[in-house]
Structure 1
Amino acid sequence: MMGTVLFFMIYSVVLLYNTANSNKSTIVDVDVVQEQLKKLVIQVAKLNTSMYSKENIKVCGSSNQTNNLNPRIEKLYTSCRQLFSDGHNTNDVYRIWLFRGYRFISIFCDMKTVGEYSKERGWMVIQNRKNGVVNFDRGWNDYLHGFGFPDKEYWVGLYNLDALLHQNRVGTAEDNLALRIDMTDWDGVYGHTECNSFYTNPEKDDFRIISVGTCVGTPQIKFTISYMIGSRFSTFDHHSESRRPTECVRQQKGGWWFSQCRFSNLNGVYSSKREQMTKYRIFVRHWQKLNRNNTSLRYVSMKLQ
């Protein structure tokens, strides 16, 4: 009952805040509304800690508790870009407020990389592979809710990804977020791509990628990512991608927008520096054109702005 009351209270304040920002003639003190909103958000976030205890990002089997997230930040930031604009320019884990579910999640913010389209800093890291300490060979439920450590190896979770992709669509008609992917192999060869309009459908369509927009960066990488358009997210225990052969379902590990099994899988099994790249581990097509040794990837990161 208390949760329902708080939900409608905060919903009313959010509407009032959006109205005040969009209509300057409205007699509303935006600072007062922001302060009221912040107080209500703290109450709802604490209440939702128990509500989302089974759905929040799993960190080695335990829930990611709201009251442990970066107490220095008091404003309701909905992106790392906003944080950077307010002077938080250190790579770190920050609280990001989700309008969907009225709750916080912890996100690692890359404050050093400059967007090729935006020319600004502040990226929300949604996936990170760097040393293989976290197992990415998991089923559908884990990929829905997320797992790992935001400042180490990490998958944000499809529910949280869906909420992040809708942040700009709450009360606005802004464009989709940009997606950036950076990768480096064990020989030190680097590649990246940045696509300016990443968007997926909701869960009922298995988070199908419907847009990546225009992509720039390493040619071999950007062309590979473009093949993901139209693909549904799939795991070994949740396979709905008709274009993906049964053999790939059995042999490819992790969860990904596989499409046909020969383009990419950035959530595959982590490889050592002595291994070559294979589609049954972390894989991106045409890497051999960048490095003729076809060396396996040491580092992969996906981020949104």
Structure 2
Amino acid sequence: MDELYDIIRDVSQDLLTNHNSFEAAGSFSLSYCVNLCTASSICLSAVRISASGECHLFSSTLHAHATGTETGLTYIGKRKPGAAQSATEMKGFCGTEESSTCNTAPSPRVYQGCQDAFDNGERNSEAVYTLHTDPESAPVLAVCQFDDQSGWTVIQRRLDGTIDFNRGWDDYAHGFGNTNGEHWIGLENIHHLTKKDQKLSIFLEDHEGQSRTANYSFFQVENRESNYQLLVSGYNGDAGDSLSYHHKMGFSTLDYDNDGSSGSCGSTYRAGWWYDNCLKANLNGVWHNAENAQQSQSGVAWLDWKHPYSFKTVYMRVGN
């Protein structure tokens, strides 16, 4: 398989500073980094940081050259674009792997969702898994959380404001961010994950360390033709039910208005969400620190607990 790739060690740091990766993951071996790029139909090159094992995927072929100094970066470039593999097991890559156990190391498994991973014996909670939510599309990286009975797929997470969530329709459709930090898995993936009956669990934490949850026994996101309409019901929890207000609404972004307002909620509140007129929840809103949280009208909002307020930590996850 190594003939399909250009592998260059000790490449310029400019590959990370001057280009935008569409995904970053870690901590992975070189062989796993290659497999991640192989699994994505839009990945044409990748850069692995040896010190941390972090793997950056790029949708373009970068112009890499050796620096002659030790940088700890390895460049992986496809010699020709590869389509996503639908097989459960992806082929291994050992052409330049330094480990003597490379040829026997298992390749990453590709699961339909985190419940599928749970059913196959996975229990490494908070780890990043490769999910094939749609057999006709490229796999996606996702965080799985496991309890005693099931596997949950994290579809959204807010932590520290490092990722800009004020984005357009295409970004929200296909996903963005870093699975190790803040990210949105993409409406297409959420749609495929929720074709079968799914539950939704939302975790919220304020800047004072208090946390609450909002759980829904039914959660579904319809297809693109419906503007990814939200269907949600069956609330229980202690955070209050702020999401049912958005039931049956299409998704809106700064450049695609499907809300129930005369204006543009996506532009006003600087996020993508299932706005009505406009919101009771806005978990993709602008992240604010503790100093500005209580004055925020456009923040990471859940009005049935605190308002006005922008929460510190939020994640959304789906499961059976």
Q: Do both share a fold (TM > 0.5)? A: yes
* Conserved? CA contact 1:147–1:155, under 8 Å: yes
Partner of 1:62: 58
What CA distance in whole angstroms lies between the structure 2 residues aligned with 1:296 and 1:233? Answer: 21
Of 249-258 and 77-86, deviating more is 77-86
Q: Structure 1 247/233 Cα, relative in aligned 2: closer, same or farther at 3 Å? A: closer
* Conserved? CA contact 2:223–2:229, under 8 Å: yes
* Conserved? CA contact 2:110–2:129, under 8 Å: no
1:107 aligns with 2:142: yes
What CA distance in whole angstroms lies between the structure 1 residues aligned with 2:161 and 2:56? Answer: 14
1:297 aligns with 2:311: yes
Partner of 1:236: 254
Q: Structure 1 61/133 Cα, relative in aligned 2: closer, same or farther at 3 Å? A: farther
> TM-score of the superposition, structure 2-length normalised?
0.65
What CA distance in whole angstroms lies between the structure 1 residues aligned with 2:246 and 2:295? Answer: 19
* Conserved? CA contact 1:96–1:107, under 8 Å: yes
Q: Which has the higher helix share?
A: 1
> TM-score of the superposition, structure 1-length normalised?
0.67
Amino acid corresponding to residue 232 of structure 2 in structure 1 = V
> What count of residue pairs does the alignment treat as equivalent?
233
* Conserved? CA contact 1:265–1:279, under 8 Å: no
- What aligned pairs does 1:18-167 form with structure 2 within 5 A after superposition? 46=38, 49-50=40-41, 52-53=42-43, 62-63=58-59, 72=106, 75-90=109-124, 91-111=126-146, 114=147, 120-166=149-195
Q: Gaps (5+ residues) in structure 2?
A: 1-34, 45-54, 61-81, 85-89, 93-104
Deviation at 1:262, TM superposition (A): 3.4
Select which of 179, 182, 202 maps to 2:200: 179
Deviation at 1:257, TM superposition (A): 0.6
Give CA deviations for 1:118-159 in whole Å, capped at 9, x if unaligned.
x72321001010011111111111111111111211001111
1:272 aligns with 2:252: no
1:192 aligns with 2:209: no
* Conserved? CA contact 2:165–2:285, under 8 Å: yes
Select which of 228, 253, 274 maps to 1:207: 228
Q: Gaps (5+ residues) in structure 1?
A: 1-42, 169-175
* Conserved? CA contact 1:136–1:267, under 8 Å: yes
Deviation at 1:219, TM superposition (A): 5.1
* Conserved? CA contact 1:187–1:295, under 8 Å: no
Amino acid corresponding to residue 171 of structure 2 in structure 1 = D
Give CA deviations for 1:198-253 in whole Å, capped at 9, x if unaligned.
112211111111x2231211152xx2111110111001110022x12416444211
Give CA deviations for 1:165-185 in whole Å, capped at 9, x if unaligned.
23x4xxxxxxx1111110101
Question: What is the RMSD of the two structures over their aligned residues, measured on CA atoms?
Answer: 3.1
Q: Structure 1 234/212 Cα, relative in aligned 2: closer, same or farther at 3 Å? A: same
Amino acid corresponding to residue 104 of structure 1 in structure 2 = P
Secondary structure (helix, strand or coil) at the match of 2:271 reads coil
Q: Structure 1 83/246 Cα, relative in aligned 2: closer, same or farther at 3 Å? A: same
Q: Structure 1 268/72 Cα, relative in aligned 2: closer, same or farther at 3 Å? A: farther
